[in-house]
Amino acid sequence: MKRVLVTGCNGYIGSHTVKALAKSGCEVHGIDWNKRSPNKVKKYVHNYMIGDVKDFTKAYRYDAVVHLAGYISVEESVKYPLQYFENNTMGTHWQLHFNGTNGCENFIFASTAAAFNPVSPYAQSKLMAESLVKAMAKNYTIFRFFNVAGNDGEFRQTGDSTHLIRIAAETAAGKRDHMKIYGNDWNTRDGTCVRDYVHVMDLVDCILKAIEVPANSDYECIGSGIGYTVNEVIDVMRDVSGVNFKAEYAPRRPGDAAEIVIPAKQKSKYFYGNRTLEQMCESAYKIELK
């Protein structure tokens, strides 16, 4: 039985990961500062800890650490860059320090696809953390996640809504009277930003594989291999929900990029996603109705 620590265990990706690990037979330990999360993971966790990852002490030896804790908002990172470097970069450093000196064989790090074009402090903080993982971890896998969406029907995204599919689902469910599209003058096929999306359960499947066999590659991309514009995502949400909700154009946001998808030269090696955009949108919409 593998003993695995998941940081950010109450979060969106963390909760799905904890559940899958427990069902696979692992002894799961979890740490998170957010004790008010709607995701109730205690039933899947052997040792449940509330606290900051930077305050973590090495009480156990772990076979693997899945480091998911971190700040994730591009827009917020532009306003508060130092907080992002402290939490995302230094938080990773402390996890590597505590667990790397305590016999951890495998460190799995949640980076971001934004690191391909690091124009925001969020992306830069993750890029710096990637370098620390390569320098300090014995064995590791660095995942550059694309926009994660969907759910397993039990757990949901937490905190402020920042992801397009979640915001579109909230609007379709009547929790918002409209949503904003930030910029319609980007150099893309319809003028709105292009992003790649991956279902959270595809991502979790990859994490479980990485626990068994660390890659020690520069990074592994997790996405669908397809780039969708903001308008296209909204159209899919309207189709699966049957609601023709309102979307308005707004000025561009600082820190955004026109297009972030898996680079073409990497698709054959790093393409893992199997579930569709329709599945992501449908599950996101249904959980907002609960």
- The answer to whether residue 48 is catalytic is no
Locate 114 and state its tokens. Answer: 């934004």
The structure tokens 């996405």 sit at 223
Q: Which of 12, 62, 71, 122 is catalytic?
A: 122
Give the separation between CA 197 and CA 278, rounded to whole angstroms. 11
Q: Where do the H-state alpha helices sit in 71-137? A: 74-79, 81-84, 91-100, 121-136
Q: What is the DSSP letter of 58?
A: -
Give the separation between CA 257 and CA 167, rounded to whole angstroms. 19
Q: What is the enclosing helix (H) or strand (E) of 206? A: helix 200-212
Bridge partners of 30? 6, 48
Residue 123's alpha-carbon distances to 36, 67, 81, 226, in angstroms, are: 27, 16, 10, 21
Parallel, antiparallel, or unpaired: how do β-strands 147-149 and 247-250 relate?
Answer: unpaired
Catalytic site positions = 122
